[in-house]
């Protein structure tokens, strides 16, 4: 499914979030191709790891909580 790609699993700080380690295990079970799959302890750390992996695009997939947390880390709105 993702040959040659990388996956960085993180969990957002909400009660129903799946632990990053559990998500990584699901990825490994679903995609036996040689894919780099790792976990990060926070959204910020996960984003830093994803940016350090290579020059390709970064795709954020998951809940709107995750997308919002990543957006907050990369877009610094000044407000009105």
Predicted local distance difference test score (pLDDT) of residue 20: 96
**Residue 47's domain spans which residues?**
6-74
Residue 1: inside a domain: no
- List, in order, residues 6 or more apart from 9 with CB less than 8 Å away: 20, 21, 23, 24, 27, 37, 38, 39, 40, 46
Does 55 score more than 90 pLDDT?
no
Residue 79: inside a domain: no
Does 23 score more than 70 pLDDT?
yes
Mean pLDDT rounded to a whole number for the chain: 87
How large is the average pLDDT for residues 23-40?
A: 87
Which of 13-17, 20-24, 54-58 is least confident?
54-58
CA–CA gap between residue 17 and residue 7 (Å, rounded): 17
Residue 60: inside a domain: yes
């Amino acid at each position: 499914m993702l040959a040659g790609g990388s996956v960085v699993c993180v969990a957002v700080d909400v009660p129903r979030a799946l632990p990053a380690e559990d998500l990584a295990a699901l990825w490994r079970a679903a995609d036996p191709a040689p894919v780099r799959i790792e976990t990060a302890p926070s959204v910020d750390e996960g984003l830093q790891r994803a940016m350090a992996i290579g020059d390709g695009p970064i795709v954020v997939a998951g809940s709107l909580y995750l997308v919002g947390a990543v957006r907050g880390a990369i877009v610094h709105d000044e407000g009105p």
